[in-house]
Amino acid sequence: MVSETALAHSPIEGIGNFYNGLLHPVFVPAHLLLLLALGLFLGQRGLSAVKSAIGLFALAAIAGLTAAWFYTPPNAEIMLLGLSAIVGLAVAIAPNVTRLPCTVLALLAGGLLGLDSAQEGLSGQDKLIALIGSGVAMCLLLFYPMALAGFVRSKPWQKIGVRIVGSWIAASSLLVLALSLSTQAQT
């Protein structure tokens, strides 16, 4: 009884490389938590206040995806979870911030998400197609919670719901981070 090698970022067999890339941010908890938290954070401010942050997120994601072709940092998931906790807390607190913190968080998130999007075992055109799929998914997973948070901005009781979701994201990020750090310490 020999088991197969376990890979953290392995593609799903049989669905194609683009769809593997498209599903990658959904199946990696650190990616999903950060995208949801950032989308809610930017949506709380309104579209007009964060247009530049959205554009810079896309540019940073493209830069990160390009860099992922060559290199993936060893502790990217830990950095993503830490950033998820920070952004989740920012959603829960809902501070009245200027454009600079939005832009900085969008740049960090886009770059880190892009860097951690390479799937193990893929190379050449397969890897390129999977990375393109991941880029599309990152944008979609940012826009949907952003639109939701922007939609409920005028309703005080629904804004509280967004803040609660932000606190859950922060708590979930910290729990997954603690689990990741404890498993690293054991190895």
Whether 35 is covered by a domain: the verdict is yes
Q: Is 38 exposed, middle or buried (0-12, 13-18, 19+ CB in 10 A)?
A: buried
Whether 8 is covered by a domain: the verdict is no
- What average pLDDT does the structure give for the chain? 86
Indicate whether 154 pLDDT > 90.
no
Q: Is 2 exposed, middle or buried (0-12, 13-18, 19+ CB in 10 A)?
A: exposed
pTM to 2 decimal places:
0.86
Domain range for 112? 17-186
The strand ranges marked E within 22-156 are none
**pLDDT score of 56:** 94
More confident residue, 60 or 12: 60
Residues of the chain with pLDDT > 90, as a percent, come to 41
Are the CB atoms for 32 and 141 separated by under 8 Å?
Answer: yes
Q: How many structural domains does the chain have?
A: 1
Indicate whether 87 pLDDT > 90.
yes
CA distances from 8 to 12, 44, 81 (A): 12, 33, 15
Q: What is the mean pLDDT of residues 44-67?
A: 89
Q: What is the mean pLDDT of residues 110-122?
A: 83
Whether 6 is covered by a domain: the verdict is no
Which pair of structure tokens corresponds to residue 53?
């942050």
Q: How far apart are CA 14 and CA 59, in angstroms?
A: 31
**pLDDT score of 7:** 52
Whether 72 is covered by a domain: the verdict is yes
Of the ranges 85-89, 148-152, 163-167, which one carries the lowest mean pLDDT score? 148-152
Are the CB atoms for 47 and 150 separated by under 8 Å?
Answer: yes
Residue 174 pLDDT class (50, 70, 90 cuts): very high
Query: Tokens 């990217």 identify what position?
Result: 76
Q: What is the mean pLDDT of residues 41-66?
A: 90
Q: What is the mean pLDDT of residues 140-155?
A: 88
Whether 10 is covered by a domain: the verdict is no
More confident residue, 186 or 122: 186
Q: What is the mean pLDDT of residues 44-68?
A: 89
Q: What is the mean pLDDT of residues 83-92?
A: 94
Whether 2 is covered by a domain: the verdict is no
- In this structure, is the dihedral angle defined by the CA atoms of residues 90, 142, 100 and 58, taken in order, positive or negative? positive
Whether 39 is covered by a domain: the verdict is yes
